[in-house]
């Protein structure tokens, strides 16, 4: 097998050393420098197969560096990844527009995300150490509030547990600054996202999560409730969250994460690591238009369409766009449309009951079962082909 080479351009010596060690363990030949101008010389002289750049360089901006790389015939087609500590969406957009193929935020989960990006960009040839391990990870997000995302996350989890009673299922509410799934399922305990991230990391083990996460009656899953109030949400140790999600994956067969409408330094690594990304869309034009912008952003982050599962939720409102109209704006297929439930959707939520329990004969109950089946099959198919 042909050995691939990677050039690291990063002003932080410790970061360069860590990346060099990581890449060498993956069987890559590594070149590295702390200066952008020297990086250009290396790139044009040595022709690496891929370049990893921290855009915050001491001698020139990363956007200027990538522009020069793209202007030269020797490196015009070389895959380039921005690896930055800056989670600002504006900086991400600037780097991607300038010519970077990927933008990865430095975090606790950056290494597997980075290796997966390298795997994709190097002609799809496997790089050692790139794999999806642990339980299936499904994330639920929307571009706008009021689409029923949290309720769908909880109800799909219940249906997965019913479809596969031997599987361990967990739901994590990561919506900030305040979660809502606890209210939907009727949980009033003290164990939540804030309290768990306040514990020493060594205490939050797989065994701890299996033993201590509550199982709300009727719902058949374990719950990591969201932040109980905005103040605690603002004090949350955000850097602990990706690691916590990874531990949930090791403890459970399925982990469903409610992100709400959050695209942030907390959520992006989790989205990039997810097996299936569930986009929930309501029928109003503004939500569909905003969702199209979210899809563009996800595409810029290397999210492939086959990892998406899009739901048009008519259960929260009858009027609005049809499925074909919404698909035309979004540019992607809507996998399933939930039919209108009138006041029953809100009634089930207010009574803290799964829709399948409260309305077992409703068409929506069959649709939720289908979503659970589809997503599990989609995740298995993607893993088997990875």
Among 121, 146, 181, residue at a domain's last position? 121
Looking up residue 204, the CATH number of its domain turns out to be 3.40.50.300
- Residue 55 sits in the same domain as residue 172: no
pTM of model > 0.75: no
How many domains is the chain built from?
2
- Residue 145 sits in the same domain as residue 276: yes
Among 87, 121, 155, residue at a domain's last position? 121
- Residue 151 sits in the same domain as residue 281: yes
In the three-class reduction of DSSP (H, G, I as helix; E, B as strand; rest coil), residue 219 is classed as coil
- Residue 152 sits in the same domain as residue 27: no
- Residue 202 sits in the same domain as residue 147: yes
Q: For residue 372, what are the domain limits?
A: 136-385
Strand partners, 82: 53, 103
- Residue 351 sits in the same domain as residue 319: yes
Residue 196: its H or E element: helix 193-198
pLDDT of 126: 40
Strand partners, 225: 192
Checking if the pLDDT of 125 tops 80, the result is: no
Dist CA 262 CA 175 (whole Å): 7
Query: Each residue of 286-316: pLDDT tens digit?
Result: 889 999 988 988 888 888 899 999 999 987 6
Checking if the pLDDT of 37 tops 90, the result is: yes
Q: 63: buried, middle or exposed (CB in 10 Å: 19+, 13-18, 0-12)?
A: middle
Checking if the pLDDT of 176 tops 90, the result is: no
Q: How many CB atoms lie within 10 A of CB 260?
A: 24
Would the CA dihedral through 209, 212, 216, 219 be positive or negative? positive
- Residue 157 sits in the same domain as residue 249: yes
Looking up residue 44, the CATH number of its domain turns out to be 3.40.50.2300
- Residue 49 sits in the same domain as residue 166: no
Strand partners, 195: none
Query: Each residue of 250-291: pLDDT tens digit?
Result: 999 999 999 988 776 568 889 988 999 999 999 889 889 999
Q: Answer whether residue 130 is part of any domain.
A: no
pLDDT of 131: 40
Q: 58: buried, middle or exposed (CB in 10 Å: 19+, 13-18, 0-12)?
A: exposed
Checking if the pLDDT of 132 tops 60, the result is: no
Q: Answer whether residue 131 is part of any domain.
A: no
Q: Answer whether residue 129 is part of any domain.
A: no
Supply 225's token pair.
Answer: 């409730």
- Residue 173 sits in the same domain as residue 202: yes
Average pLDDT of the residues in 360-366: 91
Q: Answer whether residue 191 is part of any domain.
A: yes
Among 94, 121, 148, residue at a domain's last position? 121
Q: Answer whether residue 373 is part of any domain.
A: yes
- Residue 157 sits in the same domain as residue 45: no
Supply 72's token pair.
Answer: 């030269």
pLDDT of 353: 97
Q: Answer whether residue 126 is part of any domain.
A: no
- Residue 159 sits in the same domain as residue 248: yes
- Residue 145 sits in the same domain as residue 78: no
User: Among residues 255, 283, 275, which one has the least CA distance to residue 146?
Assistant: 283
Q: Answer whether residue 25 is part of any domain.
A: yes
Q: Answer whether residue 128 is part of any domain.
A: no
């Amino acid at each position: 097998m042909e050995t691939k080479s990677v050039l690291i351009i990063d002003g932080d010596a410790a970061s360069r050393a860590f990346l060099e060690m990581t890449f060498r363990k993956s069987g890559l030949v590594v070149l590295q420098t702390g200066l952008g101008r020297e990086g250009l010389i290396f790139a044009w002289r040595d022709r690496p197969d891929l370049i990893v750049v921290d855009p915050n360089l001491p001698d020139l901006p990363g956007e200027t560096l990538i522009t020069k790389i793209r202007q030269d015939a020797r490196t015009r087609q070389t895959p380039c990844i921005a690896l930055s500590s800056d989670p600002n969406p504006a900086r991400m957009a600037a780097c991607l527009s300038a010519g970077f193929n990927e933008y990865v935020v430095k975090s606790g989960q950056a290494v597997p995300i980075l290796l997966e990006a390298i795997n994709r960009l190097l002609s799809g040839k496997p790089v050692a150490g790139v794999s999806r391990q642990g339980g299936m990870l499904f994330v639920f997000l929307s571009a706008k509030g009021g689409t029923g995302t949290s309720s769908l996350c909880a109800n799909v989890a219940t249906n997965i547990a019913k479809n596969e009673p031997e599987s361990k299922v967990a739901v994590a509410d990561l919506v900030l600054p305040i979660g809502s799934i606890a209210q939907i399922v009727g949980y009033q305990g003290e164990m939540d996202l804030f309290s768990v991230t306040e514990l020493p990391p060594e205490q939050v083990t797989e065994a701890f999560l299996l033993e201590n996460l509550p199982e709300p009656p009727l719902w058949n899953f374990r719950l990591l409730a969201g932040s109980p109030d905005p103040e605690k949400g603002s004090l949350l140790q955000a850097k602990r969250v990706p690691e916590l999600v990874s531990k949930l994956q090791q403890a459970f067969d399925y982990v469903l994460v409610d992100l709400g409408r959050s695209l942030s330094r907390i959520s992006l690594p989790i989205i990039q690591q997810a097996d299936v990304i569930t986009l929930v869309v309501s029928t109003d034009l503004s939500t569909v238009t905003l969702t199209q912008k979210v899809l563009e952003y996800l595409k810029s982050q290397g999210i492939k369409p086959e990892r998406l599962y899009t739901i048009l939720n008519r259960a929260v409102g009858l009027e609005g766009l049809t499925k074909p109209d919404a698909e035309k704006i979004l540019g992607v297929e809507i996998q399933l449309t939930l039919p209108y439930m009138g006041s029953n959707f809100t009634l089930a939520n207010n009574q803290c009951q799964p829709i399948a329990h409260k309305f077992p004969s409703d068409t929506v109950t069959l649709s939720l079962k289908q979503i659970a089946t589809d997503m599990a099959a989609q995740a298995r198919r993607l893993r088997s082909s990875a």
